Homo-oligomer: A and B are copies of this chain.
Amino acid sequence: MTVVFADRMEFLRASEIREILKITQRPEVISFAGGLPAPELFPVEEMKCVALKVLEESGKQALQYSTTEGFEPLRKQIEVRLNKKFKVDVKYTNILITSGSQQALDLTGKLFLNPQDIVLCESPTYLAAISAFKAYKPNFIEVPTDDDGMIIGELEKILQTTVNIKFIYIIPDFQNPTGRTWSLDRRRQFIEVINQYEIPVIEDNAYGELRFEGEVLPAIKSFDSKGLVIFVSTFSKTFCPGLRIGWIAADTQFIEKYVLLKQAADLHTSSISQREISRYIELYDFEAHIKMLAEVYKGRRDAVVTAMQKFFPQNVRFTYPQGGLFTWVELPRHVSAKALLERCLKQNVAFVPGDSFFPNGRIENTFRLNYSNMPEERIYEGIRRLSKEIENY
């Protein structure tokens, strides 16, 4: 049989997380493994109203083919919200609606990457970004990070000595998987270096609006004087993921290429879903909705942190996220998070071992905890069981 797949297929493997998630669908499992928003907070009643309105007012257009760029009123709403919230200066004509921010990442790989090109990213970084880029066969260089973000000295060393870097992928706000946020200083230092080397930056802001406390920090893009920053975000965490609506905001030289790629990839994003979100933002208080989400998630963040402080052994470190859905745990160097997971699954507790978040692998003693998708008591009980297994290990 002469079926021969493309070379890239060697690099794509079924995600380990996906396998873990299958196990954790049993209701008795306390799962910190997923990255799901809390479904009880979805605006189901408002969506009913909005879905009816869209079909009544513009059913034919909402069900018809539409432009690749996206629904213009929604792009204008995104323009206003972005500029206000993150101090950027983006025009709606430079915004492309995508099928979730995942598609923005896939199109980014497609736009920039020849095989063996270099992608720079934080170490660790979002695993589905790794999968998206891997399909284009790049090499990854992981830039060391600390609690304030990417370590600029390390970044500079890499930039000085490496050719063929196509872009730098970063998540400066409530990062997946660590929950960390880049400091203002670090943002400024970063863009200085970027401007010097003139490397495109993908700023993934999926979680930025879910801030529990402190000041909203300006996006990296707000300092972008050379138009190098491609800003990617989504309604999946602030509204609901099932609609699959994300976006890219970038300079014209980039956006016009993204539009071509998007057109070849799936013509356009769901007309009706775009109109529904747009009408929702028009009719309801979206900011109040996001504030409500942040309050609930803050309670859950507090629960997970309090429980970790109480139960975890002294030599286990963890991050204190000021927003978003995740915290990151570092075990003593000799402990394998995968082996720990096997033990925990027997106690009906699950999490994601950290090594999937390092594109070049090999870091065994970390794991990610998601706290957005269960009530506080359950979080508490889960951390109690988890701690016991760490101690038994």
Contact = CB atoms under 8 A, between A and B. Distances in A.
A356 interface: no
Interface residues of A, number: 80
Nearest to A129: B264
A309 interface: no
Interface stretch (A52-60, A85-93, A299-307, A378-386): A52-60
A340 B79 CA distance: 42
A132 B52 CA distance: 34
Interface string A283-313: 0000000000000000000000000000000
A113 B3 CA distance: 11
Interface of A is mostly: helix
A66 interface: yes
A327 interface: no
A242 B264 contact: no
A42 B15 contact: no
Given A7-B114, A51-B51, A55-B51, A270 B253 contact: no
B266 A106 contact: yes
A311 to B, nearest CB: 29
A264 B99 CA distance: 12
Interface of A: 1-9, 12-15, 18, 36-37, 39-40, 42, 44, 47-48, 51-52, 55-56, 59-66, 98-100, 102-103, 106, 110-114, 117, 128, 131-132, 134-136, 166, 197-200, 226, 228, 236, 240-244, 253, 257, 260-261, 263-273
11 contacts: A2-B198, A48-B52, A51-B52, A61-B242, A103-B265, A128-B264, A131-B263, A131-B264, A134-B264, A135-B261, A242-B270
